[in-house]
Amino acid sequence: MFQSFEVTARPEQGPPRLARLREEMKAEGLDGFLVPRADAHQGEYVADHDARLSWLTGFTGSAGFCAALRDAAGVFVDGRYRTQVKAQVARDFTPVPWPDVRLPEWLIEQLPDGGRVGFDPWLHTAAEIERWSQVLDGTRIVMVQSDNLVDRVWTEQPAPPLQPVKAHPLEFAGETATKKCARLAEALRKAGHRAAVITLPDSIMWLLNIRGSDIARNPVAHGFAVLHDDGRVDLFMEAAKLGAVRDLLDDTVTICPPDGFLTALAALNAPVRIEKSTVPQKLADVLGAAAVYGDDPCVLPKARKNRAEIEGSAAAHLRDGAAMVELLAWLDEQSSGRLTEIAVVKQLEENRRKDKALQDISFDTISGTGPNGAIMHYRVSEETDSVLQDGQLLVLDSGGQYLDGTTDITRTIAIGSPGSDECAAFTRVLQGMIAISRLRWPKGLAGRDIEAIGRMPLWLAGQDFNHGLGHGVGAYLSVHEGPQRLSRMSAVPLEAGMILSNEPGYYREGAFGIRIENLLVVQPAPALPGGDAEREMQCWQTLTYVPIDRRLIVTEMLSQDERAWLNAYHAEVREKIAPRVGKSARMWLDAATAPL
């Protein structure tokens, strides 16, 4: 878990690295250069080779970019990271609240006389470049395609990943790769498209029933694919990665050298589908008039989990729940003032490793106590490791990558005797989490239509949080999976089989943080007794079964229905998890799930 990341700049390393980048900008006649947290595949996570943003600035968040100008350097981050970025970057870098402030407007302010701003066309999507160019049209600021200038000055840049690929068993995939390709090819034909270019690593993994390890915590391999309208797939991936998997792939899959990818694209017959929001600008340029914009054909089918994937995820969550209960029972036995955040992480990961199906953790465990808990995506290090003190809260957000499913759970835990403010805020967060869990909604609604329900208890108290209410989750794939989200920005209708997180929170900078997270799967709602439903409805099936800390609940704030839901949930936790844990953990579990 605790690695020394050479790709991440310490604050004092950022300024000299920025100075070297500016020398390259001057040599190229550029007034600016964009450094995103992205790779050529446009997934959320990047390998060490592609961690240019963190190498340059020190910022380690999962989203953002730097606009380096000759006399200014803005680090654009969203609401999740506005506390974190201030602690990670030197004064030479200015945090910019994004998307409140957008890049074109910032450039216009910073470059009033115009200028040339370079970007690597492999690292920015066609949608980004189009959006920025439209705003900058008519100004004297010009976006210029360029080689990657960071790569020129990063002398110790790690090599691109070359990790082995393995087959994903059919018992967990639930459908052969051949059937998936045929099903998606039929959809291409109906749309009149000859082929689709697939750049997202998790889409390729899902389509071909393979998994990789090119990116830490994510079972994906880097590559590109072209799905043809007859079901054939050209897979552009280093042969060294594939090994024995080559013999397991269907005859319709052709392995091609990556250096032939652009030539192959240029030779495709139109129309060729690409997804504007994820395709690198470089590929859009190569395809030119042959390109038509449309969705990645894998994204929605991947999001709609089949029976095998749902059953596998449910089974993985029960085993993961047992590991969490063992951890929580152990934690309550420790004396406050002795344990550190890292000690908690190590104990939890040791518990998970006992499961032979565990392949990795699903993201770097967030273990933040006191003020660290207010940093939403806090990553503990030897430098920031804090002791758990009486009266503090511990935010513990973690998960596992199991062969049969991906887990993601957050629990906020009382250390000693919590304060009244903490308990009141925790109860409001819990009320929002319960409201979403109990919800029935008409089929066809999207995340943006229902996510406010999970915020309402906080809003009534004048409080809120700066992250989405929930994200999609893969089936032994990425812990953050689109397109489904519980977010005011998501217009994607929720469909049966989609797995999402339900994770309201509250964060008081410099004091404490709170988050409660379960994973849920969308399913058709059962008919109500004694009534004829006027509309087809949907509801949730809960996957996560771990107690919620009763010590932090102000019982009087809960309605009768909220109390009944929590008691029923805890009864299910006890029933499902008790047989899976040791004697002392069972005793702890009985007390932790006692009715309110």
Q: Which DSSP string do the residues of 150-196 spell out, in sequence order?
A: HHHH-TTPPPPP-PPPEEPPHHHH-S-HHHHHHHHHHHHHHHT-SEE
**Spatial separation of the C-alpha atoms in residues 592 and 518, rounded to whole Å:** 17
Report percent pLDDT > 90 for the chain: 90
The residue that leads in pLDDT, 83 or 151, is 151
Tokens of residue 518, six digits: 């379960």
**Spatial separation of the C-alpha atoms in residues 510 and 479, rounded to whole Å:** 28
160 prior amide bond cis, ω within 30: no
Digit-coded pLDDT (tens) for 225-278: 999 999 999 999 999 999 889 888 988 999 999 999 999 999 999 999 999 999
CATH, domain range 11-153: 3.40.350.10
pLDDT of residue 82: 87
**Spatial separation of the C-alpha atoms in residues 68 and 75, rounded to whole Å:** 8
304-592: same fold as 11-153?
Answer: no
**Spatial separation of the C-alpha atoms in residues 468 and 91, rounded to whole Å:** 29
Q: Are 557 and 423 in contact (CB under 8 A)?
A: no
Taken in order 587, 592, 595, 596, the sign of the CA dihedral is: positive
The residue that leads in pLDDT, 532 or 338, is 338
**Spatial separation of the C-alpha atoms in residues 527 and 168, rounded to whole Å:** 36
Digit-coded pLDDT (tens) for 276-317: 999 999 999 999 999 999 999 999 999 999 999 999 999 999
Distance set, CA 287 to CA 203, 262, 283 (Å): 20, 9, 6
Cβ within 8 Å of residue 530, ≥6 positions away? none
Q: SS in 3 state form for 458-523?
A: HHCCCCCCCCCCEEECCCCCCCCEEEEEECCCCCCECCCCCEEEECCEEEECCCEEEECEEEEEEE
The answer on pLDDT for 18 being more than 60 is yes
CB atoms within 10 A of CB 417: 10
**Spatial separation of the C-alpha atoms in residues 388 and 368, rounded to whole Å:** 9
Torsion from C-alpha of 97, 277, 43, 358, nearest 10 degrees: 100
Tokens of residue 270, six digits: 């139109």
Q: Are 57 and 75 in contact (CB under 8 A)?
A: yes
3-class SS at 198? strand
**Spatial separation of the C-alpha atoms in residues 211 and 499, rounded to whole Å:** 19
CATH, domain 166-298, list 3.20.20.100, 3.40.47.10, 2.60.320.10, 3.40.350.10: 3.40.350.10
The answer on pLDDT for 471 being more than 90 is yes
Q: Which fold has domain 304-592?
A: Creatine Amidinohydrolase (3.90.230)
The answer on pLDDT for 7 being more than 90 is no
Digit-coded pLDDT (tens) for 347-385: 999 999 999 999 999 999 999 999 999 999 898 989 899
The answer on pLDDT for 20 being more than 60 is yes
- The full set of domain ranges for the chain reads 11-153, 166-298, 304-592
**Spatial separation of the C-alpha atoms in residues 476 and 405, rounded to whole Å:** 4
Digit-coded pLDDT (tens) for 380-434: 989 899 999 999 999 999 999 999 999 999 999 999 999 999 999 999 999 999 9
Q: Are 273 and 185 in contact (CB under 8 A)?
A: no
What is the enclosing helix (H) or strand (E) of 302?
Answer: helix 299-303
Q: For 39-68, what is the mean pLDDT?
A: 93
- pTM of structure: 0.94
**Spatial separation of the C-alpha atoms in residues 561 and 30, rounded to whole Å:** 62
pLDDT of residue 5: 40
Q: Please give the span between the terminal C-alpha atoms of the chain, in angstroms, as a whole number.
A: 37
Average pLDDT of every residue of the chain: 95
Q: How many helices (H) and strands (E) does the chain have?
A: 21, 28
The answer on pLDDT for 2 being more than 50 is no
The answer on pLDDT for 3 being more than 90 is no
Closest to 227 in 3D by CA, of 281, 177, 174:
177
